[in-house]
Amino acid sequence: MRKIGIMGGTFDPIHLAHLAMAKCAKEQKELDQIWFMPSKIPPHKREKKISSEEVRSILVKLAIQNEKDFIFSDFELLREEITYTARTLELLQKQFPEDLFYFILGGDSLFQFEHWYQPEKIMEKAVILAAGRDGVTKRELQKQADMLSQKFHGKVELFDMPEMKISSSQIREKIAHGEPVASYLPDKVYEYIMSHHCYQ
């Protein structure tokens, strides 16, 4: 049985905090692989303009190309529907019944989790791994994790990662204003964005 971590998101663009989160989760929870799974149409971003699937996929592949246990997955991109996490995990479990799935998210998302689509189904299909982020104390995070575990009869585990104040929206904004972003991005991702004039 493999222990598979799922890193979902628009990855518009993928940045160093995404990679740090994946590495910390993998090491601390002894996961076999991390699947980076760009969203097709995330429910909370239906009205927002996001980069093409092709560009986001290229950026993810460039970011993880030197990490042998980091795998690009187009599992959500191949579906024609809005990509709800609950549905994705349900389909993954059917396709890979021998594997154990861990859904990785930032501590900030843990406080929104009960408002997601079918949170009880997400926790039925995967262990939630939450990273401490954005100035939330470990105690507050643990309290939220315990509450969700009890409410939805699942398992939420915490892991540590370095404080990194990086977000995709900040990076897009900086690029649009001609500000430097090289320190936020893997080298190959930065080179691609600059040479293809993304987000400008």
Which whole number is the average pLDDT over 11-34?
Answer: 97
| Residue 192 clears pLDDT 70, i.e. is over it | yes
According to the model, what pLDDT value does residue 78 have?
Answer: 93
| Threshold 0.85, pTM exceeds | yes
**How far apart (Å, rounded) are the C-alpha atoms in residues 21 and 139?**
19
* More reliable by pLDDT, 141 or 42: 141
According to the model, what pLDDT value does residue 42 have?
Answer: 62
* 61-94 tens-digit pLDDT: 999 999 999 999 999 999 887 789 999 999 999 9
According to the model, what pLDDT value does residue 50 have?
Answer: 87
* 144-183 tens-digit pLDDT: 999 999 999 999 999 999 888 899 999 999 999 999 999 9
Q: Which residue has the tokens 């246990």?
A: 69
Across the beta sheet with 33-38, what order do the strands follow? 70-72, 33-38, 3-9, 100-106, 127-131, 156-159
Average pLDDT in the chain: 93
